[in-house]
Amino acid sequence: MNKVMQLGLAGLAGVGLWAGATVPASANGRNYSAARSASVRLIWRARMGTHVYHNRATGARYSEHLGVRYGLNQATTGVTWITDAHEKLYNRDTKTEDIYYHVHNQNETTAGWIWRGYLVPGEPSGATRSTPSSTTQGLTLADFTHQTPLPDSPAQQAVAELGHGATLDPQYTAFAQYLMKNVLLPAPFANPNAVSAWMAEDDDPGDRPDNVLLQKLLRQHGIVHFGYGPNRYQVMYMRETNQGWSSYMNLEYHNGPDEGAYGIDGITSANYFTPVKIGYTVEFLPNHKVATLIIMNYPAKYGQVHEMENNEDIPDSDD
């Protein structure tokens, strides 16, 4: 059994490192905030498997209810952290739900709770690091499996206009909101006031700089392949004037369902989008601009319909 696994099992089977014995000697009254502790409510807390992380140079490490701040993350960027528990907290101020991981170093002398957005996958100290081109550098879709998206009435309205059984998928929408705020809005697109970028078929962004940048950013967060079926996505990001934004999904991108697919493998007008996972978010910006991001995952059978269309095997609906 490797050293990391031994440490992880010791943390799980021992006296409960994460259940209260995490206050370092340097923590004192100056690091305690009753207001911060009262600003959050525990939703759940549970043990978790052993994973290895390093932290970004932002944020801080806390006690389990955020009352005590143990230290700033900029001081521990070289530490190898090992997980043994996680918790979800409701923030009363921002009305969001955030997941924190309880982590400890390899010799269990330092520990605490860190928001998972500040953690990146790592390897034990001394391990040889591999750097494939597809290595993710941030949160991925899987990190939002149990995440509740922020309320987004404009997105709900747009999906309602799309119709044909379309609904927002919570996981995909929470992921879209994360990408919008933390990745795409700060990204250096050629013209930040007018962006139209999408994942390209055959994963080839062509020579459009905005497409190239979008696909590079998506790859860093686990969205790699265009298409239909598992782990294949269709993504479009736009920044434009807010005129007509709510029609974006059905007029600009989809133009409604493909009627040629009706009757194929149970696909109808009423259920066309029902099995499609849709993540969508709308962000209003200064100067009458609006940014929209859509992430969709179609079942594989829709790819078969697409191929038949390209081969002109589906007769025109007027025939």
Contact residues for 131 (Cβ-Cβ < 8 A; gap 6+):
none
Q: Are residues 91 and 46 part of one domain?
A: yes
**Could you tell me if residue 143 is inside a domain?**
no
Tell me which of 64-68, 195-199, 200-204 is least confident. Answer: 200-204
Q: If pLDDT is split at 50, 70 and 90, which confidence band does 188 have? A: confident
Extract the tokens encoding 222.
């686990």
Say how many domains are in the chain: 2
Q: If pLDDT is split at 50, 70 and 90, which confidence band does 233 have? A: very high
Q: Are residues 197 and 93 part of one domain?
A: no
Q: Are residues 225 and 274 part of one domain?
A: yes
Average pLDDT over residues 202-214: 76
Nearest of 117, 129, 111, 109 to residue 89 by alpha carbon: 117
Structural domain containing residue 118? 3-129
**Could you tell me if residue 205 is inside a domain?**
yes
Q: Are residues 240 and 124 part of one domain?
A: no
Extract the tokens encoding 280.
């969508």
**Could you tell me if residue 145 is inside a domain?**
no
Q: If pLDDT is split at 50, 70 and 90, which confidence band does 17 have? A: very low
Q: Are residues 227 and 183 part of one domain?
A: yes
Nearest of 182, 162, 179, 164 to residue 222 by alpha carbon: 179
Q: Are residues 270 and 170 part of one domain?
A: yes
Residue 39 has pLDDT above 90, yes or no: yes
pLDDT of amino acid 78:
77
Q: Are residues 112 and 10 part of one domain?
A: yes
Alpha carbons 208 and 201: distance in angstroms, whole number: 13
Buried b (16+ CB within 10 A) or exposed e, 18-29: beeebeeeebee
Alpha carbons 272 and 303: distance in angstroms, whole number: 13
Extract the tokens encoding 229.
């079926």
**Could you tell me if residue 283 is inside a domain?**
yes
Pick the residue with more confidence: 283 or 39?
Answer: 39
- Please identify, among 60, 94, 129, the residue that sits at the C-terminal boundary of a domain: 129
Alpha-carbon distances of 15 from 27, 88, 137, rounded to whole Å: 21, 22, 34
pLDDT of amino acid 79:
84
**Could you tell me if residue 86 is inside a domain?**
yes
- Please identify, among 74, 94, 129, the residue that sits at the C-terminal boundary of a domain: 129
Q: What is the DSSP letter of 213?
A: H
Alpha carbons 84 and 305: distance in angstroms, whole number: 45
- The whole model's pTM is what? 0.56
Q: Are residues 170 and 73 part of one domain?
A: no
**Could you tell me if residue 251 is inside a domain?**
yes
Residue 94 has pLDDT above 70, yes or no: yes
Alpha carbons 252 and 13: distance in angstroms, whole number: 55
- Please identify, among 129, 162, 188, the residue that sits at the C-terminal boundary of a domain: 129
What mean pLDDT value characterizes the chain? 75
Average pLDDT over residues 152-169: 84
Q: Are residues 170 and 108 part of one domain?
A: no
Residue 134 has pLDDT above 80, yes or no: no
Contact residues for 305 (Cβ-Cβ < 8 A; gap 6+):
258, 260, 261, 264, 267, 314
Alpha-carbon distances of 25 from 86, 92, 169, rounded to whole Å: 23, 30, 45
**Could you tell me if residue 134 is inside a domain?**
no
Q: What is the DSSP letter of 175?
A: H
Residue 29 has pLDDT above 50, yes or no: no
Residue in the block written with tokens 């009458």: 288
Extract the tokens encoding 157.
């309205």
pLDDT of amino acid 319:
38
Q: Are residues 158 and 125 part of one domain?
A: no
pLDDT of amino acid 13:
34
Q: Are residues 197 and 95 part of one domain?
A: no
Average pLDDT over residues 294-298: 92
Residue 83 has pLDDT above 70, yes or no: yes
Average pLDDT over residues 300-311: 66
Q: If pLDDT is split at 50, 70 and 90, which confidence band does 63 have? A: very high
Pick the residue with more confidence: 204 or 169?
Answer: 169
Q: Are residues 159 and 107 part of one domain?
A: no
**Could you tell me if residue 168 is inside a domain?**
yes
pLDDT of amino acid 76:
84
pLDDT > 70 fraction of the chain, expressed in percent and rounded = 73
Contact residues for 301 (Cβ-Cβ < 8 A; gap 6+):
228, 264, 265, 267
pLDDT of amino acid 278:
92
Residue in the block written with tokens 């996981």: 171
309: three-class secondary structure by DSSP: helix
Buried b (16+ CB within 10 A) or exposed e, 49-59: eebbbbbbeee
Q: Is the CB of residue 102 less than 8 Å from the CB of residue 85?
A: yes
pLDDT tens profile 171-185: 999 899 888 888 888
